[in-house]
Amino acid sequence: MAKILVVGAGLSGAVLAQQLAAHTDHKIIIVDERPHVAGNCHTARHPPTGIMTHVYGPHIFNTSDLQIWQYIKQFGQFANYVNRVKAVTELGVFSLPINLLTINQLFKTTFNPREAQAFIHAQADASIDDPSNFEEQALKSVGPLIYEAFFRDYTIKQWGCDPKELPASILKRLPIRFNYDDRYYSNKYQGIPIEGYTVIVERMLADPNIVVRLSERYDPSWNLEFDYVFYSGPIDAYFSYREGRLGYRSLIFQQEIYAGSDYQGNAVLNYCQGSIPYTRVHEHAHFTPWETHRSSVYYHEFSKETEPTDTPFYPKRLRADKVLLTKYRALGALEKNVSFLGRLGTYRYLDMQHVVKDSISAAMAFARSTPPWDRFPAFLNTEAEE
């Protein structure tokens, strides 16, 4: 029996620990500096209203991979839930992602799919062959009006930089649909756990071979006490930022209580105008339509640059960050008996389904390996967007 340390009790570390406990006889110790498990998908009841809130912002589990869907459902009942986001712009309120209804409302037309596709193609900047940044990708895909109404100012607020500095891949995650499908996610399976994500993670970690230690800040000196370490925190923090800090965005949530049962009529409204400082407003009662509450709680969400005391949310992956990441990955490859995983450990933008898949893959690879594990890879599944 080996002693394995898993740093981070978010979804990445929890799935890894659960799978290691299920497929090996190792002793798993999982630590987290927060006082709760589940990381950024932590959910909790809001005391004044009783509403189940997504404490660090909305999370809708979605995947087209049946095995991933069946895996997560082992740990709790999921209610079917389809996220339908609305965008508040200077020109009105529209469905997001851009779809046929958005196009017809915005341009006051009655296009069918073929007409809309031809129209948007005519709006696009044909001089851009290979988009090298977010702005070029937007102009090539949808043209200037849609870019300026929906994406330009919102992107500046969300990422804190000029859209020309961001990779084109960020916009590629938002599809343009030439039908009336207004689902934010198009994956086959979509849902929210009825008891919240934290209960799901707690059940993952309920194995007798898993010890959970919360409110403890990991120190690399602990590595000597364990046979192997899986680290899901920020990779630059692991090395005490010796090469510099990678760029992340953090979020601030301003909570408001509404005396009625429905403040805004939808779970999420994106505010695309540069004149409004917050990026979106989410009202959490809409994430649990199977419940009834007399009052409501909603959050204004602000995006900011990550400072030393902030929780990092989104890797920025600007050009300078990618250079820095290469240095940290080189350092990580030199570590003995340590692997890096998760959004922060590999510095990749990952949805929950990708986190689950990567952690299962890492755990199964480790279960098939044999000690002393000094040749087990420091990075697994490091494919990323450009």
Q: And the tokens for 104?
A: 């017809």
**Catalytic residue flag (residue 351):** yes
Q: And the tokens for 14?
A: 């929890």
Q: In this structure, are residues 280 and 271 in contact, taking their beta carbons and an 8 Å threshold? A: yes
**Catalytic residue flag (residue 245):** no
Among residues 135, 154, 177, 358, the one annotated as catalytic is: 177
**Catalytic residue flag (residue 173):** yes
Among residues 249, 317, 343, 348, the one annotated as catalytic is: 249
C-alpha closest to that of 359 among 52, 2, 44, 23: 23
Among residues 135, 136, 152, 280, the one annotated as catalytic is: 280
**Catalytic residue flag (residue 241):** no
Q: Taking the CB of residue 367, how many other CB atoms lie within 10 A of it? A: 13
**Catalytic residue flag (residue 203):** no
Among residues 45, 173, 217, 242, the one annotated as catalytic is: 173
Among residues 153, 301, 321, 358, the one annotated as catalytic is: 301
Instruction: Give me the active site residues, please.
Output: 173, 177, 249, 280, 301, 349, 351
